[in-house]
Amino acid sequence: MEWQFQIEFVIAYGIVQAITVLIFVYLSFSNPGFLKSKLKIKATESLLQLLKEWECFEICPECIVVKVSRSRHCDFCNNCVKVYDHHCPWIDNCVAILFVLYIYIKIGSENHCTFYLFVFLISVNISLSFAL
């Protein structure tokens, strides 16, 4: 009976491990909410023309994009993110802040809930590793 329990435990550990790896791959390559290319400014326009149309805080000088409110430039990804939270070194990607009405209006974050699931599964994996 003891042997049967250990096999089930190892299978459950393998399933959790596989799900964690899949979520890691998804988060590494997902779009956290980078500003779309349709907002990019034409390279031929001068900075003076841009400042006539927009305020200086509405233009990202790094990627030459008109920023939306609450967006920020990520120095690691070299892109502007709609609602920037942080750049995670674990997944080598940005994580955007989750809005309260994210499910309904779909603004900003593309990967915030999945990131929390990933962190939870990492902690489950660590716990199961010590239990083995």
User: So which residues are the catalytic ones?
Assistant: 88
CA atoms within 13 A on the CB side of 45: 15
Find where tokens 């709609």 sit: 82
The angle subtended at Cα 45 by Cα 39 and Cα 47, nearest 5°, is 95
C-alpha dihedral (114, 120, 123, 128), degrees to nearest 10: -100
DSSP 87: E
What is the sign of the dihedral through the CA atoms of 107, 103, 28 and 129? positive
The single residue listed with the structure tokens 């435990």 is 9
Tell me 40's DSSP state.
B
How far is C-alpha 73 from the chain's CA centre?
14
